[in-house]
């Protein structure tokens, strides 16, 4: 019987150096796209897929990430007193219930695989989602919901994938593929950041995963891979052949918000989805068409 997907892990221990000085005293996951921080987009996406429990893998200076989902008594009292009901409801909608969020500290930056291993007690024997907040996805059906549906269909691990230019495979985790129905791809192997001439395909993993807990025993070996880090890709590769493993060509548009240009593009794309500001955004964009 396929277990219900209830847990999500959010690796948020990174330093955000590409956004300095903005991230000198603020977690990069708190950078806003329109009026919501990246971390909230990730949590909202997971909640829409039925996920109930969250574990943030944090580092030093990341306390604001937890406080964002807490109750702000003074602020709520002020909003209520001033009759700002819409803003008050927006705040309350973002809150997580007591016990639904925990944090684990990753003291040393040993890679994404090490970060996920740090959440081993939270994961236990349950399937779990991983959401990297830097990857923001605009879609009609939340990407994590699409992965959850594929997980319930296949009973195994599923990763979100997209095609990348063949000369850029050395930037991503790349799939070796078997059966392919155009949407769901059987994964027969995984390679972290292969050179273009060595890449088995140009299908790349993005920052959305649903994994079986078996991956933890492989990550526990602490074997170093690309970049001399403990790579999640290597741990997942060792699962292949023992349990079902698939890649899902998700429906939606991905924005790399760890990159300045990708972050700016996300601002515009998400603003254009907002009826109250779309016309104004289109208006000011016209001013810069020939800039």
Give percent helix, percent strand, percent coil of the chain, each to the nearest 5.
Answer: 35, 25, 40
What pTM did the predictor assign?
0.92
Beta-bridge mates of residue 81:
none
Backbone angles phi, psi at 153, to 5 degrees: -75, -40
Are the CB atoms for 142 and 45 separated by under 8 Å? Answer: yes
- Rounded to 5°, angle at Cα 213 from 207 and 214: 110
What are the chain's domains?
Answer: 7-277 (3.90.550.10)
Are the CB atoms for 172 and 204 separated by under 8 Å? Answer: yes
Q: What is the pLDDT along the chain (291 residues), one digit of tens a residue?
A: 789 999 999 999 887 888 889 888 888 999 999 999 999 999 999 999 999 999 999 988 788 888 888 888 888 889 888 989 888 888 888 888 888 999 999 888 888 999 999 999 999 999 999 999 999 999 999 999 999 999 999 999 999 999 888 888 888 888 888 898 889 999 999 888 888 888 888 899 999 999 999 999 999 888 887 777 888 988 999 999 889 999 999 999 999 999 999 999 999 999 999 999 999 999 989 888 776
CA distances from 122 to 6, 79, 81, 174, 204 (A): 11, 35, 39, 28, 28
Cis peptide before 21 (omega within 30 of 0): yes
Nearest alpha-carbon partner for 172 in 216, 130, 202, 135: 202
Q: What is the pLDDT of residue 291?
A: 63
Helix/strand/coil for 54: strand
Q: How far apart are CA 98 and CA 269, in angstroms?
A: 33
Q: 């691990």: which residue's tokens?
A: 157
190: which 2 tokens? Answer: 């995984």
Pairing of strands 7-11, 53-58: parallel
Count of other CB atoms within 10 angstroms of residue 46:
27
Q: What is the pLDDT of residue 157?
A: 95
């Amino acid at each position: 019987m396929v277990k219900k997907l209830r847990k999500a892990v959010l690796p948020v221990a990174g330093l955000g150096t590409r956004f300095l000085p903005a991230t000198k005293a603020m977690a990069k996951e708190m950078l806003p796209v329109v009026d919501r921080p990246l971390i909230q987009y990730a949590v909202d996406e997971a909640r829409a897929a039925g996920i109930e429990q969250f574990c943030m893998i944090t580092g030093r200076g990341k306390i604001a990430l937890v406080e964002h989902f807490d109750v702000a008594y003074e602020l709520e009292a002020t909003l209520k007193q001033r009759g700002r009901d819409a803003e008050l409801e927006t705040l309350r909608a973002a809150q997580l219930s007591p016990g639904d969020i925990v944090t684990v500290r990753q003291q040393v930056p040993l890679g994404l695989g090490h970060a996920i291993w740090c959440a081993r007690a939270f994961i236990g024997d349950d399937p779990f989602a991983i959401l990297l907040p830097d990857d923001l996805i605009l879609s009609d059906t939340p990407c994590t919901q699409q992965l959850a549906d594929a997980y319930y269909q296949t009973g195994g691990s599923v990763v979100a994938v997209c095609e990348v230019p063949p000369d850029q495979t050395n930037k991503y985790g790349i799939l070796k593929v078997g059966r392919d129905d155009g949407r769901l791809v059987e994964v027969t192997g995984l390679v972290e950041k292969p050179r273009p001439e060595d890449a088995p395909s140009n299908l790349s993993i993005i920052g959305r995963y649903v994994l079986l807990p078996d991956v933890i025993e492989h990550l526990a070996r602490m074997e170093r891979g690309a970049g001399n880090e403990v790579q999640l890709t290597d741990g997942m590769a060792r699962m292949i052949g023992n349990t079902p493993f698939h890649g899902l060509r998700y429906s939606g548009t991905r924005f790399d918000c760890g990159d300045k240009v990708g972050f700016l593009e996300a601002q515009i794309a998400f603003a254009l989805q907002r009826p109250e500001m779309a016309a104004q955004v289109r208006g000011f964009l016209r001013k810069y068409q020939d800039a």
